[in-house]
Structure 1
Amino acid sequence: GDLLVTGVDGCWQPRDAEVVLDLGNAGTATRFLAAAALLSPVPVPVTLDGNARMRERPIGELGQALERLGATIEYRGTPGFPPMRITPPRDLAMTGRVLELGTTQSSQFISALLLVAPWLPSGMTIKLSGEVTSPSYVSMTLGLLARLGASVRASDDLRVLRVGAGGREGVGKFDYAVEPDASGATYFWGAGAIREDLAVRVEGLGVHSLQGDASFPSLLERMGATVTRAAEPAWTRVSRAEELKALGADMTDMPDAAMTLAAVACFASGRSVIKGLRTLRVKETDRIAAMITELSKIGVEIGTMPGDDGAIYVEPPKGGVDCSESCPAVEFDTYDDHRMAMSLALVSLRRPNVVVKDPACVAKTYPTFWKDFARLHGAATEEHS
């Protein structure tokens, strides 16, 4: 369906003397709205809060950046974590034009700043040192802003980012067709790789997608899956005709797909090594610890790589995961994490007697996941899209 949004010309118009938002465990909303609070009229402060897990997810690096842009930041609990109160600067024209940032805990801190830059009188230049966190998401943000008419420039290594407004403040009205969520698509592409009797085609995601996770089928292809892509209309199809092989993969550009890959690796021959997972420690749960705990329940050898806390190995037991009808029941905990639930569900396509606890947590990003996933069970040599 269509969603119509009427803009406010880069200046929020709150009705109350202070805005308080409870955002649950929505990390993206919390970070993006924290930066957007710069555009709130003085003296209207914005307080962002969430559930218990959200109060454990760091936001101090973004808070420091907002302070450099002239905002006043107050933490109402643990310093560097929500709840945080943001009072915007009195004059946006005085906001700093250049921000220098080191390696950030989340690329969303960078994206949040870039998204408000077109409405700052002088735009914004961000200079990054150290490792660029999840660079594909930064590239996606820049690409989207460019499509909407903002003035965007970036160095090839993404260490210098410049967003202005092309001589005018903000961006004009636009019509934009939003792509399907590539992160949500990875579970179905993974299903096509896990089961020999499935072919899964995801429509709307093809060779020209801005999303880093749209490259996930390339990893499955390396493992032995067959991948077919089309541009117009866009779609990507995954199936399998041979045994899956282990692989080594750097997931820096698509960390949200790491749990999907780990689930697929449980049914590949050999030891897979998955790195680039540093940001998973501060997601809805510590996803590295959660994956180790849950996938070990089906006899898989899984753990962190020596000397690299952001990398894991996954190796199925000798003879493979027990997928017999008499295999013992296993209950997967999901940690109130939508992506843990959806990735662990993949195990059930090969192994019977699987229970996924708290299945409703998928509603955060994919309310109809179980309805769509149910179409895969019991399928035989059938293409699903």
Structure 2
Amino acid sequence: MKYQVTATRTEINGCINLPASKSISNRVLIINALCYNPYVAKNLSDSDDTRVLEQALFSNSNKFDIGHAGTAMRFLTAFLSKIVGEWEITGSERMKQRPIGILVDALNELGARIEYIEKDGFPPLKIFGSHLKGKTLELDGSISSQYISALLLIAPTIENGLTLALKGEITSRSYIELTLKLMARFGIQYKWEGNTITVPEQNYLPGEFTVEADWSGASYWYQMLALAEKGEILLENLQIDSLQGDANIAGWFKQLGVQSTQKSDGILLSKSTSSLPAKLEFDFIENPDVAQTMACLCVAKKIPFYFSGLKTLKIKETDRIAALQNELKKFGATVTEPAHGELAWDGTIDASTAEKIPIIKTYHDHRMALAFAPMVLAGYNLDIEDPMVVTKSYPSFWEDLKQVGFAVKVL
């Protein structure tokens, strides 16, 4: 199935009820399971990733297929390693290509017993849940923050707690901070000094919790307003003072002509008349999930860019660096990778590679569909393959587009 997406107007106005944060929802689900919380978290994300994790945690089975849900794979691996029993966890073919050896090695050092069913270092896994004993683990700080968060979430429940000594540059620090802040909301004390995080053995304290709106989902509306000629969008239940690191984009988009005003019921985005920068340079080491948003925006606005801090993009739902290069070339933009974890574009459009109606492959990656669709506001007509991949994080995306005047046609 494909969707043909077109913009019926250059002005967008509306009120959008953003999805709840998938990142917060998934962490809170694990915390609630660890402390047998009698309170059900309010406003949980209805994304595929959160549904898969929730179903696994409440399942009577000992075998789980989490599909494309990377967070669920990492978090469940750590969680099940300390739950007595014999468990199997698998996923999609892409998931079987995504490495998990670093997390498995770390858990086995703590006393877990985890075996590879097919290929060393990759899912599927057989997990024999057991008693874990804490120690100091040394980990490369540039690995996926999901490995680190998975270990931190179970750290208070491990005998003697856990100390993580992170070496080198820390990738996606904001997601590690999010994990620790949520743990603190449920009574956990910790220390983060330099590159060392220490979590003593202690009990999570059950309590009520409401999940806030998703800042990663908000990024596509910032992108749309930056591309529109004028308009205002109210993003309901979104807070500038947020637990989520992606709230930083409110500052980024000021230079792209989008102002953020906190209201009682959300954030109002409005268009300013400020001039655009000659070139954009961003380090995405804290916010890798918005890299696709910014790359698509820059090509649509003809703004050259240099992006760094993107090392983890190669092990996401797809190799996002290669995917961006492939799909942006359909707009005539040759995006280069100057070094590992970098993307650059000089602003040149090659008409010989530009397609009249680009057909965007999504590579089983929700953020490809979400980031490319807004480009129609720059005058493009697009076809999006496998459009329902957005249900991984933003199930109502296409309906929200229609609400503000986009035309979305099934092909």
- Tell me the TM-score range normalised by the shorter chain: 0.7 to 0.9
Q: For residues 173-227 of structure 1, give each alpha carbon's deviation from its aligned partner in whole angstroms, at most 9, with x where no partner exists.
A: 11111111111111111111111223223232333111111111222223x3132
| 8 A Cα contact 2:135 2:161, kept in partner | yes
Q: For residue 279 of structure 1, what is the aligned residue in structure 2?
A: 312
Whether the 8 Å contact between 1:243 and 1:268 is mirrored in structure 2 is: no
Write the deviation string for residues 300-339 of structure 1: whole angstroms up to 9, x where unpaired.
231112xx1211113444699x99xxx8221111111101
Q: CA–CA distance in 1 between the matches of 2:270 and 2:140?
A: 38
Letter of the structure 1 residue corresponding to residue 381 of structure 2? N
Q: Where does residue 61 of structure 1 map in the other structure? A: 102
2:276 is the counterpart of 1:251: no
| Among 219, 225, 233, the residue aligned to 2:257 | 225
Structure-1 separation of matches of 2:268 and 2:305 = 24
Deviations 1:267-289 (A, max 9, x none): 33542111111000010100000
* Contact map agreement 2:35 2:206 (CA 8 A) in 1: no
Distance in structure 1 (CA, Å) of the matches to 2:98 and 2:145: 14
- Answer whether contact 2:134 2:161 (CA < 8 A) is retained: no
Match of 2:200 in 1: 164
Match among 323, 347, 362 for residue 290 of structure 1: 323
**1:1-385 map, 5 Å:** 7=33, 9=35, 19-41=62-84, 44-89=85-130, 91-92=131-132, 95-155=133-193, 157=194, 159-164=195-200, 169-222=202-255, 224-230=256-262, 232-235=264-267, 237-245=269-277, 246-305=279-338, 308-317=339-348, 328-377=356-405
Conserved? CA contact 1:244–1:269, under 8 Å: no
**172-181 or 54-63, larger mean C-alpha shift:** 172-181
Deviation at 1:13, TM superposition (A): 9.7
Give the conservation status (yes or no) of the 8 Å contact 1:275–1:310: yes
Residue 294 (structure 1) shift: 0.4
Equivalent residues of 1:126, 1:160 under 8 A apart: yes
Q: Is the 8 A contact 1:196 1:240 kept in 2?
A: no
User: What is the Cα deviation at residue 20 of structure 1?
Assistant: 1.4
**Sequence identity, in percent?**
35
Q: Deviations over 1:345-383 (max 9, x none)?
A: 11112223211111011111111110112233369xxxx
1:297–1:330 CA contact under 8 A, matched in 2: yes
State the TM-score, normalized to the length of structure 2: 0.81
Unaligned runs of 5+ in 2: 1-18, 38-56
| Residues matched between the structures, number | 361
Quick one: distance in 2 between partners of 1:204 and 1:61? 37
Structure 1 unaligned residues grouped into runs of 5+: 380-385
The 3-state SS of whatever aligns with 2:342 is strand
Q: Return closer, same or farther for 1:231/1:67 CA change in 2, 3 Å cut-off.
A: farther
What amino acid is aligned across from residue 56 of structure 1 in structure 2? Q
